[in-house]
Chains A and B, each alone.
Chain A
Amino acid sequence: MSSNIEDIINIHGRGPGNLIQILQDIQAEDSYLSVDSIASVSEAMAIPESRIYGVATFYKQFKFIEPGEHMIKICQGTACHVKGSTPLLDVLESYLAIKPEETTEDGKFSLERVACLGCCALAPVMVVDNEVYGKMTQEKIGELLDTLRNGGDE
């Protein structure tokens, strides 16, 4: 077992109530839950792997495939929906040539739909690498992707 997983488990404790927190912390470090890390958690906490998968697949937050370099989350909550987030998703899908929950071939971008980021007054909203972009338009998306592609962080 990698020492990090052991540390994380020690911080939270081995009680079954801490499983979700432990998985969250592992994902925060590795950006996804690998087959190996689930096996390690199973062994360390004496919980069958099937049970861990059962819990982890229930929650949308957990990922089992390594995501791309930039994580693009597009809000599909109600406020964003009525302000036109569906066409924004269409534009993203065609620019990136992927569907939601997929990663581009070059491993640069992953696309995810989320239901409300709590910034509804700025609808429609996108989050790229944990930075919130409000009042988005189809046009702004193109510009944002260009800067990300060129390595800028803005």
Chain B
Amino acid sequence: MPERTILICRGTGCVSSKSPEIMEELENLLEVHGLAEKVEVKQTGCHGFCQRGPILIIEPDDIFYCEVKVEDVQEIIETHLEKGEVIDRLLYTDPQTGQHVPNYKDIMFYKNQQRVILQNCGHIDPEKIDDYISAGGYVALEKTLAMTPEEVIDVVSKSGLRGRGGAGFPTGKKWQFCRNAEGEPKYVICNADEGDPGAFMDRSILEADPHAVLEGLVIAGYAIGASHGYIYVRAEYPLAIERFAYALETARERGYLGRDIMGQDFSFDIEIKKGAGAFVCGEETALMASIMGKRGMPTPRPPYPAMSGVWGKPTNINNVKTLASIPVILSKGADWFASIGLEGCSGTAVFALTGKVANSGLVEVPMGTPLNKIIFDIGGGVPDGKTFKAAQTGGPSGGCIPAKDGEINVDFESLAAAGSIMGSGGLIVLDEDTCMVDLSHYFLSFTMEESCGKCPPCRIGTKRMHEILGKIKAGRGEPSDLQKLEELAYTIKNGSLCALGGTAPNPVLTTLRYFREEYEEHINNKRCPALVCKDLIWYTINPEKCIGCGICARKCPVGAISGEKKEVHVIDHEKCIKCGICFQSCPPKVKAVEKKTN
């Protein structure tokens, strides 16, 4: 038995910050130091704290090192493993108190979470099925197979689980519809398209705990009476696809998938379908068209997938997080799950907390947790002394909750009442440097590009809204534009075929509701208070401060800055593309480059 285990994260985030090289170096140096027998190195999936990656945890000491570099490995071995001393500089620094926090459990980011769906993430090796089994995996499947399908659906219904793909439809009910539907064979689909740009919950779960999703999908198949499952994963997630494919292989070998699962009279298999870069394919009818090899365009509902889905057969479709909740519900019981969160909205919510927040990463909290708690107690608030302005949820279909409403509870109903939606879990924190007009314009450019073009309200409407927002951003807006935006929003919302168009105006509507004065500043005074909209800002060099170091002039990609060495430099506004490289590269002690608006 090894005395210690070093867990090293190999999720996409940490891999990009060189965790495989660190793992290799660790293994080499442990060998050199004669510690290979005593210390086990284990790869894990995402801990959800990618921002501080690469992350390395030493057990049983429970020490959490972050932003580790290959060069640090030697010191970790000599100081920590050999001398038993904790290396202070690699510890997490609390952004509020400035203190180093050695233990995993004490870090605010983790301490204030309740991890149910993410319980295994970062603790097991996603490529070892035995790790999943020792953590209690496949117990739920065994239990399931000893029950009747109706009993399984009953447990899911009683748990109060609602779909985590965005709409929050009760999962038990959905399963029942599909079970009752006429037609053979039936299909179950896991929706891992994760189209919301700015969200990565589903990716992390697939990378860190693929068997949980797999088990959930098999249970769904049994409950509904399906023989075939699909998982539709976006192509931008190669590692998630690789890990899931490997999980399928090992599950088949162990008899958790394939013919006569666990020796019972139930056969079921799963096929991976890779998305090809279309946001609308997250919508269930479009997704099914894509699975059938067609253009991913939505079709009107009814018929609902439960009646007529892939290949015209009854089909059930659920999000990754919905399915990952299933094994826990079956093994710990419906009452246990229902006791978490709110009545009518049970369980936990998983968010990808990103944007202008000190601790960015994956967060899981009981449904109904106040927004402020997520942003401040877990996220550590807004960094760099800036102020919290708003939080965006639900991606391009959602809206912005202003800071003054930060006490709002995060659940399906409360967010909808505020004009936003829960969505599938993107939560982006915005500070004073975020321009709401620019953000609306950004979302509309996204929905406009992603509109499949089938129905005119969405195809033409989003384009018109985008044009108006572009005009306002450029300082050419007119006071009547705001009313035009609202009228268009109404038409698009009511006239679109699917929820892509039906929700596309939300980012504009919520920002108009809460930040109207910002639009008015752009229109009436040609000002962008957040200093973002390019046509309304400019950069200048303060002659009092410039020391003539020439760094900005060398960096400028268009040669817009001139000046003799040691003399004041100037920016040629004709040439300047306002990329801000001068602003960024001016030495912090000098700060001579300034950003201005009217």
Contacts and interface: CB of A to CB of B under 8 A. Distances in A.
A114 B50 contact: no
Contacts of A131: 16
B566 interface: no
B16 A119 contact: yes
From B15, B198, B204, B442, residue with most partner A Cβ within 10 Å: B198
A142 B556 CA distance: 10
Nearest to B426: A78
A87 B578 contact: yes
B497 to A, nearest CB: 16
A122 B13 contact: yes
B581 A139 contact: yes
A16 B292 contact: yes
Interface string A103-134: 00000000000111111111100000011111
Interface stretch (B24-32, B75-83, B276-284, B462-470): B276-284
A134 B54 CA distance: 12
Nearest to A22: B293
B355 A83 contact: yes
A17 interface: yes
B555 A139 contact: yes
A122 B557 contact: no
Given A18-B293, A55-B293, A122-B16, A78 B198 contact: yes
Contacts of A120: 198-200, 352, 354, 360
Interface residues of A, number: 49
A84 to B, nearest CB: 8
A59 B196 CA distance: 17
Interface string A135-154: 00111001000000000000
Contacts of B148: none
Contacts of A94: 557-558, 577, 579
B203 interface: yes
Given A78-B395, A90-B579, A20 B276 contact: yes
A62 B237 CA distance: 16
Interface in A18-43: 18-21, 23-24
Interface of B: 12-13, 15-17, 49-51, 53, 194, 196-200, 203-204, 235-238, 240, 273-279, 290-297, 352, 354-356, 360-361, 392, 395-396, 426, 428, 430, 434, 439, 442-443, 446, 452, 555, 557-558, 577-581, 584-585
Closest 5 CB pairs of A and B: A77-B197, A132-B16, A78-B198, A59-B276, A60-B277
Given A18-B293, A142-B555, A142-B557, 10 more contacts: A15-B293, A17-B291, A23-B276, A58-B296, A58-B297, A60-B277, A78-B196, A87-B580, A122-B13, A132-B16
